[in-house]
Amino acid sequence: MGRLMNTVHWKRYLDWTRNNRIKRFVESRGNHVFWQISQNIRKAHSNNKESLTMVVHEHAPSAIRIPKQDYMEVMNLCIKWFEINEDYETCEKIAKYRSSMTPSKKKIKETTIETKL
């Protein structure tokens, strides 16, 4: 049986601009963490999950929770991380995942209405 964990907002462990401890964490494990998060968000979105909860580090006291409305923001954060680290191939993969998550605009057929005078 798995252990029970409290959940915290995802920014607490992923937003490296908030404090130096998180900055050091993502500097050492960011590539792996952000790639896994992008994959899990894609799966959660395709399964229409209301949120994604995951453990970022095995020794972290809490798991992070990403609500569905934040999926795009977190995907953008993942892309930003890989852009900063100049890993453009991974950026492209995540960008494709992100674009597949946005609803496509339906093409509206133009109809011609003929009027008789």
The pLDDT of residue 47 is 94
* Backbone torsions φ then ψ of 7, nearest 5 degrees: -115, 150
Which run of H or of E encompasses 68? none
pLDDT value at residue 21 = 86
- Can you tell me whether residue 43 is helix, strand or coil? helix
DSSP 98: H
Candidates 41, 23, 39; CA nearest to 81 is 23
Q: Is residue 81 predicted with pLDDT exceeding 60?
A: yes
Which residues, other chains included, contact 78 with Cβ-Cβ below 8 Å and sequence gap of 6+?
34, 35, 37, 38, 94
Q: How far apart are CA 34 and CA 29, in angstroms?
A: 9
For residue 50, what pLDDT is reported? 95
Q: Is the pLDDT of residue 58 over 60?
A: yes
Average pLDDT over the chain, rounded to an integer? 85
pTM: 0.79
User: How large is the average pLDDT for residues 48-70?
Assistant: 89
Residue 4: pLDDT band (50, 70, 90) is confident
pLDDT value of position 92: 95
Model pLDDT, residue 83? 95
